[in-house]
Amino acid sequence: MSLAELTLHEAAARLRKREFSAVELTESVYRRIAETDAQVRAYLTLAQESALEAARRADERLKEDGAAAPALLGMPLALKDNFLTRNIRTTCGSKILGDFIPPYEATATAKLRGAGAVIVGKTNLDEFAMGSSCESSAFFPTRNPWDLERIPGGSSGGSAAAVAADQCLAALGTDTGGSIRQPAACCGVVGLKPTYGRVSRYGIIAFASSMDQVGPLAKDVRDAAILLEAIAGHDPADSTSAPQAVPDYQAALSGAVRGLRIGAPKEYFVSGMDAEVEQAVRAALRQFESGGAVVEEISLPHTEYAVAVYYIIATAEASSNLARYDGMRFGCRADAEDLTETYRITRAAGFGAEVKRRIMLGTYVLSAGYYDAYYLKAQRVRALIKRDFDAAFQRCDVIVTPTAPTTAFKLGEKTQDPLKMYLSDIFTISANLAGLPGLSLPCGFDSAGMPIGMQLVGRTFDEATILRAAHFYEQATEWNKRKAKLKSKK
């Protein structure tokens, strides 16, 4: 077994026993990348020199700290390429930031570095995190390690694919409408979107600021808990960061769900979704019942409006956030005769089609005469969606749904139909609108051998309960132990 195949907690335990060094672990990950990334294309930038130096420092620190060393010391991790990383290129999957090297560090990545983690590199994503398939990257599409002709999901597709292909031990992504959970489902890994405000957004390239959230993609639930504990907490640099204490998430992994009340919303089991997906999630609900949980059908009546609401609010916020990319202070710049023409040419050349589409949609809904009809109304319906969840959590502790209506689809299958692409996130968007934590984990495979994801949604700041429920299910089944049969090829 290659060291790159280990989980975080397995690698950390063996590292402390001196079975191998952090340098050897990091070198194993880079060998795996060299063998497989020509097929998967998960990475945009590798940071091998600085990573090996960080691994050497981790080995020195381990000698001093011993068993008291942080859980992430020496662990090779990947970062979605919308995290600002000091002295490492950060593109956000866009030509407009093609050569941008940030002068400062995101809070989440600074916490990882402080814990001694090794940053392997920056992973591919849909441009400015706008997409569900990792096909709108300005550089190249990423492929699913389970089937190289299929998408890995998006927008954190590179991070999910890298974890599934053992090209890192775990990774960070961001989730605005499902961009951690949906690729986790497509690639058969665990993906967690924390409560809005649980993790600092400082140093994350903004898409939709009222919904963006940082979270882990990992090989199992325990690893997700370890990573979340490392990056969570209040940050004075982020005005939306919540001053909430960070629980011991690993302690929550008791393996027991007896008495847990689970809600299955009828609006998430609808005609048009893949029958194999529905069967797998319903079988998972029966597994919870066998462990002593109580499952009941619930209703979230405003679910049908979630996609429309999301694509009004998210595009409006994107229109505002992306106004800063004008070629004046950073990023690419096209020379022209006057300022207006410079803006026009720079943005036309720097932004891709999907980003332009969302900027135009957002500008339209914020424009005079349409603000009340679209944006203001969408915010009111958003409040109703949040109210649905508040009512549901009076009756249940966790809500269980499919993560996505289908398994990973073929590359190019939906690129010409944006509406079909947007529906890939139909089951994940509501949690972002309501600011709730959501987790996806594998719950089966379809007849084509592709992973099926199950989503668990919890109360505000109650990541511990969804981690506990997910851990019970993971321990009761074998789905997470399957590996993508990706052949090494240099």
Coil/strand/helix, residue 167: coil
DSSP 215: E
**Residue 319: active-site member:** no
Q: Which of 133, 179, 241, 319 is catalytic?
A: 179
Contacts with 339 (C-beta within 8 Å, 6 or more apart), sequence order: none
Work out the angle between the directed axes of helices 22-40 and 8-16 (0-180°, nearest 10).
150
Q: What are the structure tokens assigned to 202, written together?
A: 């400082």
Q: What are the structure tokens assigned to 343, written together?
A: 């803006």
Angle (CA) 292-297-301 rounded to 5° is: 145
Q: Where are the beta strands (DSSP E) in 309-403?
A: 398-402
Q: Which of 28, 155, 159, 200 is catalytic?
A: 155
Count of alpha carbons within 13 angstroms of residue 433, beta-carbon side? 31
- Is the omega angle on the peptide bond into residue 28 within 30 degrees of 0, that is, cis? no
**Residue 155: active-site member:** yes
Coil/strand/helix, residue 446: coil
Q: Please, are residues 389 and 273 in contact by the beta-carbon 8 Å criterion?
A: no
**Residue 159: active-site member:** no
Q: Which of 80, 111, 122, 219 is catalytic?
A: 80
Q: What are the structure tokens assigned to 35, written together?
A: 């063998």
- Alpha carbons 332 and 336: distance in angstroms, whole number: 13
- Alpha carbons 72 and 67: distance in angstroms, whole number: 12
- Alpha carbons 100 and 87: distance in angstroms, whole number: 9
Q: Give catalytic residue positions.
A: 80, 155, 179
